[in-house]
Structure 1
Amino acid sequence: MTNIAAAASGDTLVGPQGYCTLTGALDYAAGSANAMNFYSGKGELQEALSYPDLREQSMTLARHLLASGLKAGDRVGVVAETDGDFARAFFACQYAALVPAPLPLPAALGGRSQYVEHVHGMLASIGATALLAPATLIDWLEEPCSDLPLRFCGTLAQLRTLPAGSDDLPEVDANALAYLQFSSGSTRFPQGVAVTHRAVIANIGAIARYGLEIGPDDRCVSWLPFYHDMGLVGFLLTPLCCAIPVDFIATREFARRPLTWLQLISRNRGTLSYSPSFGYELCARRAENGAPDGLDLSSWRAAGIGGDMVRPAPLHAFAERFAGSGFRADAFVPSYGMAEAALALSFSPAGRALRVDVLDIDALERNDRAEPAAADATRSRSFVFCGPILPGHAVEVRGENGEALAERQIGRILVRGPSLMKEYFARPDETERVMLAGGWLDTGDLGYLADGEIVITGRAKDLIIVNGRNILPQDLEWTAEGEVAALRSGDVAAFSVNDEAGERVVVLFECRSNDPDLRDAIGAEVAGVLRTRHGVHADVVPVPPRALPQTSSGKLSRAKARQLYLKGAFESVRAA
């Protein structure tokens, strides 16, 4: 079979059939015997779904969907369990010319009532006319979603009991919507990012040819959720488009047994796998007493980092912890992307160790300049280079008035190219807000360009502005987590409020102790560190473990944390 990376050309993947749709991709992949392999948290193979079988079963299910009264372009919510049924449901929608919208699992959103309300809102926002869910969740969702105009609501097993149409499946247009990817919702309710076939195929082509240089001997391993763009596009669709094998474990199983991820890479000789920084940190922490016997990570040639800000310290710790297991630090591939661009926008060059820019914090906060820190600087912060923009795409950094900025000047990141979304589905005002003249997308991210590479410094909406200083919240968070022994990565949220007490910085920290004296001591230590290192006087507030709100993709939601704080949600903890 032709190597898809070598066959990529321009903005379109060109396989033996010259395809530019996801159905064409699976038709191509079905010429291979490779498979999607689903494993338990203990590393036991539960299902091997070959690409030929996926194609045949998806086409059959597509006829059942169309016979239920659904029509081309209808939206279908699909609860994204990490199993073969999600892949079947997703591609059944593709062959039926329907538009699947992957939905999160309860583990990402808290309790039952909150989950049901959230999913109901997602389905209503896109005008869904069908819902496919695993048997374990359909009882939760069936009654609450009964007020929606759903022609079908059930499991794939229930769908198979319905009559199947005998008509030919519809022609799939490359310019039609392939799926709706809900945004992470870190600053607002998730919106449906409308991605066309042509856009996602263009992005996968650029990933395969330029970003990761995928070849026929590569093998992917992933624990990333299918309702997130890195899990869906990066590790469900990209391996399929390249007709290479991929091994999955569920996200919740990774959280319980993170080293299973590494053991699968070792056992199956995985070459490509990704994680946000916290995944590497969790593995290093679990292996504090030593890596598992026989672990061999020498095959892992691209250990990608994405999905959130790239944190150098956890990556250095991981590389040190697993060097004896054959892991090479130059395998790290920091990258940058977002659902609004299908997935990826940049990759650091393969085989290069992490390139870190150590910046002078005063210049960053006062002048929006990325100036290298002096060797004896007392206030500095490290940021990671994420590589040049992918070929066929363009990037600019712009100032407050929309002017293009020079290298090392910090501003808003704008991008354009063939991978960009069509719109936020049914949200014209929000679409107009980010899709600018000339085809540019305002990513909402802050950063700068240096030596032609992208460096991300934070989110514009999260920026803390106090006394003329532009303070990055993660700068405060990482300092507290790194210098206060009682805190771990992800334990701190920083934001600003402007209320009757004036404009001030608030820092929440998760405390695992019920001892009020210990809570007070940790809070005082956090406040002292932030005063000393950043000259920031913060209102430091303890919160219970796992109280800091996260998006469905696992990112800290500072906007939600701020809302909870202003509602007094944490006052009882502080007063206890």
Structure 2
Amino acid sequence: MAAGLYRAGLSGTPVVLALPPGLDFSIALLACLRAGAIAVPIPYPPQGQEAKQRLTAMLGDLGIATALGTGDPALDSVGLRRVDPAELDCAPLPMPFPAPDAPAVIQYSSGSTRTPRGIVISHANIVANQHMIREMFDSGPDTIALNWLPPHHDMGLFGALLHPLFLGGTAILMPPMAFIQRPLRWLEAISHHRATIAGAPNFGYDLCVRRVSPDQAATLDLSSLTVTFCGAEPVRAASLMNFAAHFASSRFDPDSYSPCYGLAEATLLAASTPCGAGVRTVVRDDGHRHIACGIAPSASRMRICGPQDGQVLPPGETGEICLAGPHVAIGVWHGASGTVAPMPELYDEDGTSWLRTGDLGVLGPHGLVIHDRIKDLIIVHGRNIYAADAEAIAMDVAGASLQAVAAVALNVAADERLLLLCEVPRTHARTLDLDALAEKIARPVAEGCGALPEVAFVAAGALPRTTSGKIRRQAARQAYHAQTLRTLAGKDAQWANA
């Protein structure tokens, strides 16, 4: 296939991988990398109207490109040239290797706080980050990675798919929907194949606890796992502790946990706890419990800077996480010109290019602790409230009664208040006493965050999400103000005024 892409003149041009997760996608990705084409993974096929709209926005930003696939109206509408893989002339052909600094992948960011944009990852970026992952995970050719993570997302693409191949190990892939529909499938596959590396965001571990019975857990053997990573969103202590307790009968080893921090602008991994270190809990001065995400790999640098002035802060002070190293992306895609433009978050200091991540965190004895996105910080009566803190308290208190929470600012006249948008599972929607649950949630959040929240309940799946499953807080806030969220009866606004 690489020869076919090269012969078709696609080297150096964006090639949209309009293929569902699976072997065909994996082959197409590797073919693009070898041919020097710029692979553009997309969430395909798009599920739902919102996903289709976001895909259209991605492809509109991309500009002139080729779609590798059998055709889809959503792709045809933006004027992409379409190529059927079966029609390529794939006869062997001598091909030059792409230059290390040449674009390899246009990774569209998850868009949790902004419109998705194309982050351009070079071949050198990929190789550098693979070495970093190997260092932190202590992985090698005996690695068996088993994951369901979507390959259009950086954790699924560079972690679940490319990392075991980089090592000469084994990658076993499961369609994301197969996991969502029945989480037990993932755990059964880990047990059967004796997988050594697997991972998920918080919601994946929570889903396993909710949907796998104790009797089913007792039939599993998860003892082969040496690295069980968790990332893509702030790592919740309760999610990892509940999973470890629920699957203790499965011989799951909590020391295999590797909480991570990463972002598309740094290819994937930016920090991780070393293999075998397990979970390190940090309790802040305000009593909030956080999970440390370890340290930066040795080939990279990390520091905390003041969000306003950019001054480097000492250990223990909260500020913006800044990164430097060979894994930092070479730029963003400028579709109108078909070129790579500099990332506006980059700044130069003494010859070193630093990336401002937009994330708030602190460096301490156990490494990096993530607090929140700068744009998601909520200020109520002069007090800073981290959305992730309020969400974690609500989820811990509610347990299985909630499947997601978005903490956002609620503007009332000239006042800003804390609003919790709580998503109720379908199985609980008709049986819950929502007024009682609102009170149960509001009091601990008020005690932990210093502001009494307003609590609103929404239907399962109502909160806007990125293509990787992260809650889009600002989109949820806008939808609430526009009264377009599917709310449930029992919204108890009195707690905001009690």
Fold conserved between structures, TM > 0.5: yes
| Structure 2 residue aligned with 1:141 | 74
Contact 1:413–1:443 (Cα < 8 Å) also in 2? yes
Contact 2:202–2:233 (Cα < 8 Å) also in 1? yes
Measured after TM superposition, the shift of residue 471 of structure 1 is: 0.5
| Structure 2 residue aligned with 1:282 | 207
Report the 3-state secondary structure (helix = DSSP H, G, I; strand = E; otherwise coil) of the residue aligned with 1:436. strand
Residues 557-566 or 272-281, more deviating: 272-281
Measured after TM superposition, the shift of residue 532 of structure 1 is: 4.0
| Structure 2 residue aligned with 1:260 | 185
Q: Closer, same or farther in 2 for the Cα pair 1:455/1:309, shift >3 Å?
A: same
Within 5 Å, give how 1:449-488 maps onto structure 2.
Answer: 449-451=363-365, 453-484=367-398, 487-488=401-402
| Structure 2 residue aligned with 1:130 | 66
CA distance in 2, matches of 1:520, 1:570: 19
Report the 3-state secondary structure (helix = DSSP H, G, I; strand = E; otherwise coil) of the residue aligned with 2:128. helix
* Residue 346 (structure 2) pairs with residue 435 (structure 1): yes
Residues 74-83 or 242-251, more deviating: 74-83
Q: Closer, same or farther in 2 for the Cα pair 1:528/1:454, shift >3 Å?
A: closer
| Structure 1 residue aligned with 2:281 | 356
CA distance in 2, matches of 1:534, 1:139: 47
Contact 1:67–1:165 (Cα < 8 Å) also in 2? no
Q: Closer, same or farther in 2 for the Cα pair 1:216/1:475, shift >3 Å?
A: same
Partner of residue 96 from structure 1, selected from 32, 35, 53: 35
Residues 182-191 or 492-501, more deviating: 492-501
Partner of residue 503 from structure 1, selected from 416, 419, 442: 416
Q: Closer, same or farther in 2 for the Cα pair 1:485/1:86, shift >3 Å?
A: closer
Report the 3-state secondary structure (helix = DSSP H, G, I; strand = E; otherwise coil) of the residue aligned with 1:484. helix
In terms of Rg, which structure is larger? 1
Q: Closer, same or farther in 2 for the Cα pair 1:329/1:159, shift >3 Å?
A: closer
Question: How many residues are aligned here?
Answer: 482
Contact 1:329–1:353 (Cα < 8 Å) also in 2? yes
| Structure 1 residue aligned with 2:291 | 384
Contact 2:463–2:485 (Cα < 8 Å) also in 1? no
Alignment root-mean-square deviation, CA: 2.5
Measured after TM superposition, the shift of residue 71 of structure 1 is: 3.7
CA distance in 2, matches of 1:80, 1:575: 42
- Counterpart code for 1:105: Y
Q: Closer, same or farther in 2 for the Cα pair 1:117/1:493, shift >3 Å?
A: closer
Deviation string 1:191-212 (CA, Å, 9 cap, x unpaired) is 111010011101101211x111
Q: Closer, same or farther in 2 for the Cα pair 1:216/1:409, shift >3 Å?
A: same
- Matched-pair identity in %: 34
| Structure 1 residue aligned with 2:172 | 247
Deviation string 1:357-410 (CA, Å, 9 cap, x unpaired) is 11232xxxxxxxxxxxxxxxxxx2111111111001111101131111111111
Structure 1: runs of 5 or more not aligned: 1-60, 362-379
CA distance in 1, matches of 2:344, 2:382: 26
| Structure 2 residue aligned with 1:444 | 358
Contact 1:100–1:178 (Cα < 8 Å) also in 2? yes
Measured after TM superposition, the shift of residue 526 of structure 1 is: 3.1
| Structure 2 residue aligned with 1:273 | 198
Deviation string 1:88-108 (CA, Å, 9 cap, x unpaired) is 1112212221101100134xx
CA distance in 1, matches of 2:431, 2:191: 45
Within 5 Å, give how 1:199-238 maps onto structure 2.
Answer: 199-208=125-134, 210-238=135-163
- Counterpart code for 2:361: G
Partner of residue 534 from structure 1, selected from 430, 433, 449: 449
| Structure 1 residue aligned with 2:87 | 161
| Structure 2 residue aligned with 1:564 | 479
Measured after TM superposition, the shift of residue 262 of structure 1 is: 1.5
Partner of residue 416 from structure 1, selected from 304, 324, 338: 324
* Residue 238 (structure 2) pairs with residue 313 (structure 1): yes
Contact 1:77–1:128 (Cα < 8 Å) also in 2? no
- Counterpart code for 1:507: L
Q: Closer, same or farther in 2 for the Cα pair 1:425/1:317, shift >3 Å?
A: same
Contact 1:346–1:389 (Cα < 8 Å) also in 2? yes
Deviation string 1:342-366 (CA, Å, 9 cap, x unpaired) is 11122212222311011232xxxxx
| Structure 1 residue aligned with 2:14 | 75
Partner of residue 518 from structure 1, selected from 433, 444, 447: 433
Measured after TM superposition, the shift of residue 171 of structure 1 is: 3.3
CA distance in 2, matches of 1:273, 1:533: 33
Structure 2: runs of 5 or more not aligned: 492-498
- Counterpart code for 1:192: G
Measured after TM superposition, the shift of residue 414 of structure 1 is: 0.3
Residues 516-525 or 388-397, more deviating: 516-525
Measured after TM superposition, the shift of residue 270 of structure 1 is: 0.9
CA distance in 2, matches of 1:514, 1:408: 42
Deviation string 1:255-301 (CA, Å, 9 cap, x unpaired) is 11112111111111111111112212221222333334542111111
- TM-score normalised to the size of structure 1? 0.78
Deviation string 1:35-55 (CA, Å, 9 cap, x unpaired) is xxxxxxxxxxxxxxxxxxxxx
Contact 2:395–2:402 (Cα < 8 Å) also in 1? yes
| Structure 2 residue aligned with 1:26 | none
- Counterpart code for 2:72: D
Contact 2:459–2:487 (Cα < 8 Å) also in 1? no
- TM-score normalised to the size of structure 2? 0.90
Contact 2:296–2:302 (Cα < 8 Å) also in 1? yes
Measured after TM superposition, the shift of residue 253 of structure 1 is: 0.4
| Structure 1 residue aligned with 2:52 | 116
Which of structures 1 and 2 has the larger relative contact order (alpha carbons within 8 angstroms, sep 6+)? 1
Residues 231-240 or 494-503, more deviating: 494-503
Q: Closer, same or farther in 2 for the Cα pair 1:486/1:219, shift >3 Å?
A: closer
Q: Closer, same or farther in 2 for the Cα pair 1:572/1:81, shift >3 Å?
A: closer
| Structure 2 residue aligned with 1:402 | 310
